[in-house]
Amino acid sequence: MTDDVDRILEQWHSERPDLDVAPMGVVGRLSRASAAVEARLARTFADHGLDTSSFDVLATLLRSGPPYRITPTVLARDAMITTSAVAQRLNKLEARGLVRRTPDPDDGRGTLIALTSAGRAAVEETLPAHLQTEQAILSTLSPTERDQLAMLLQRVRDAAQVPER
């Protein structure tokens, strides 16, 4: 079975036969797979009135456990987003009544982000469909292949990390 990446590799082999372009095949397919997965998940979230970013924030708050409140710093870390992106996402979610900011009783200057009952309902309603979509995406893999892929992707991610300065 050939795909666009195979065509690109053939072009590079023709143009630069002196270079090993095999890594482009893996990274290219990884990039294309990521884009396809993100698009499929985005459709699921849109069906529930959310986008990927909103779901990530709400899910992070829900999985933090009762009382479903965390600091913006913890939210950024656990949702794997930048602290500057947190403020934008929170403004949007707060305007929809899905989260609220409250003073942090342990830090007079700090804020806690709390999941509202509407936010909890939104994420609880969306979560089963999200998992069903992920299941459908991975349905061509056996459980063993899924485990192997997860391990391999973790290794690739670790190798791709930009070292901190």
Task: Tell me if 102 sits within 8 A of 112, measured CB to CB.
Answer: yes
Tell me the mean pLDDT in the region 4-19: 94
* Assigned domain for 100 exists: yes
**What's the CA gap between 35 and 153, in Å, rounded?**
15
Same domain? 116 vs 54: yes
Of the pLDDT bands very low, low, confident and very high (cuts 50, 70, 90), residue 109 is confident
Q: How many domains does the chain have?
A: 2
* pLDDT one-digit tens code per residue, 126-156: 999 999 999 999 999 999 999 999 999 999 9
Same domain? 28 vs 68: no
Same domain? 70 vs 90: yes
Domain range holding 140?
Answer: 23-48+136-159
ω before 67 within 30° of 0 (cis)? yes
Of the pLDDT bands very low, low, confident and very high (cuts 50, 70, 90), residue 59 is very high
Nearby residues of 4 by Cβ (< 8 Å), 6 or more positions away: 32
Same domain? 33 vs 56: no
Same domain? 116 vs 85: yes
Neighbours of 45 (CB within 10 A): 19
**What's the CA gap between 89 and 2, in Å, rounded?**
40
Same domain? 56 vs 43: no
The answer to whether residue 2 scores a pLDDT higher than 90 is no
* pLDDT one-digit tens code per residue, 61-107: 999 999 999 999 899 989 877 778 888 899 999 999 999 999 988 88
pTM score of the predicted model = 0.86
The CATH number of the domain holding residue 121 is 1.10.10.10
> What would the two tokens of residue 132 be?
């069903």
